Structure 1
Amino acid sequence: MRIISGKHKGRQLLAPKNLPVRPTKDMAKEGLFNILNNRYYFPDLKVLDLFAGTGNISFEFASRGVDDILAVDMHSGCINYISKIANELKMDIKTVKSDVFSFLSRNTEKFDVIFADPFYDMELGEFQKLPSLIFENELLLEDGVLVIEHSKQTNLESIPHFDNSRKYGNSVFSFFKT
């Protein structure tokens, strides 16, 4: 995995092999960040990275000037890796080791961008719970967006607040807005 743009552009990051992750592919990540870059001024953003895994998305945001990032994952190896790399690269990424659904149920902070990259084989009902919790608990700031990454076999278009989706290979980013 590599950082595509910003201060650490081109930097290769090698995550430990024992982490239960599927990092977002560079082509898909580049497409996502092109979309977000046309909509937001990155240094002003407050970002929540759910199912953060290797921190791939958090590192990309931080490299592009975002200094208010919270990464949530339930696997301690993932949280330790994100913290280690963030420290090495002097990135201000806070981490929380928690089940994402429990975190969303108790969190009161609001964010401009919430990115969620759950396991592709997660049940559709679990996918539906993500936007439900986020919008019920009003976790997005004004003009904020929820982005859920999923496989092309999963269709989230019927979920309330769905706005649009973009496909990149086997990955799809579904965008949700208020």
Structure 2
Amino acid sequence: MHVISGRFKGAPLASPNANTRPTTDRTKEAIFSRLDAWDVIADARVLDLYAGTGALGIEALSRGARELVCVESDGRTATLIAKTLTTLKHGRAWAAAPGITARVIRAKAERYAAAGSGPFDLILIDPPYALSTDDCDRLLADLASSGTAADDALIVLERSVRSEEPSAPAGWVIGERRDYGETAVYYIERDARSDSERDGELGE
């Protein structure tokens, strides 16, 4: 596992154990190609929930994000992310990008989402496939209602292709779904329609 592109290209990412299911390089490249095309990474505040190796968040930081918060509940895994970030911070690429920040928070993703930390411009979520659809929907709703997600945030959610499709929070929509092998990726954003337009559809 390594950083694919950007200022930290080629930097290794430690995986804590065989049970960890990191995003494959193919899926990661597909996700970030879209994010780059949409110009949502540059100077963004990024939240990486269920961070695992930190691969998604660190990739965003490498490609131009200015702030990264990785949230991981497992202590050993969180320590490995912290070590990766420490190595990056001592390198030339970090010194050449003044103002960027990155930190790891050991906490449950669900609790952090509901706490109102942020706001974040880009939220990357790669939960265990075992996370139920109800719990996934609650997580998304908490991100939106707590203010953790900025008004113009983009949420990227990975799930198994065999899982039920999640429900976007009120006032948000699933803009796109893309499947890559066993992984379904959802791009969730604010509904661009006005409140009156949405209410009109509900009344039909």
**TM-score under structure 1 normalisation?**
0.91
Work out whether 1:58 is the aligned partner of 2:57. Answer: yes
- The whole-number CA distance in structure 2 between the counterparts of 1:101 and 1:16 is 21
- Equivalent position of 2:105 in the other structure: 96
- What amino acid maps onto 1:122 in structure 2? L
> After alignment, is 152-161 or 55-64 more displaced?
152-161
Runs of 4+ in 1 over 6 A off after TM superposition: none
- Equivalent position of 2:153 in the other structure: 144
| Aligned counterparts, 1:1-80, within 5 A | 1-17=1-17, 20-40=19-39, 42-80=41-79
Work out whether 1:128 is the aligned partner of 2:140. Answer: no
Deviation per residue, 1:76-105 (Å, 9 max, x gap):
111101110101011632111111111112
Residue 123 of structure 2 aligns to a residue whose secondary structure is strand
- The whole-number CA distance in structure 2 between the counterparts of 1:128 and 1:82 is 27
- The whole-number CA distance in structure 1 between the counterparts of 2:157 and 2:9 is 24
**TM-score under structure 2 normalisation?**
0.80
- The whole-number CA distance in structure 2 between the counterparts of 1:85 and 1:10 is 12
> After alignment, is 84-93 or 108-117 more displaced?
84-93
Q: Does the 8 Å CA contact 1:131/1:176 hold for their aligned counterparts?
A: no
RMSD over equivalenced CA pairs, Å: 1.7
Q: Percent identity?
A: 28
- What amino acid maps onto 1:8 in structure 2? F
- Equivalent position of 2:182 in the other structure: 170
Count of aligned residue pairs for this structure pair: 177
Question: 5+ residue gaps in structure 1?
Answer: none
Task: Give the one of 115, 128, 133 matched to 1:119.
Answer: 128
Q: Radius of gyration: which is bigger?
A: 2
Shift of 1:157: 5.2
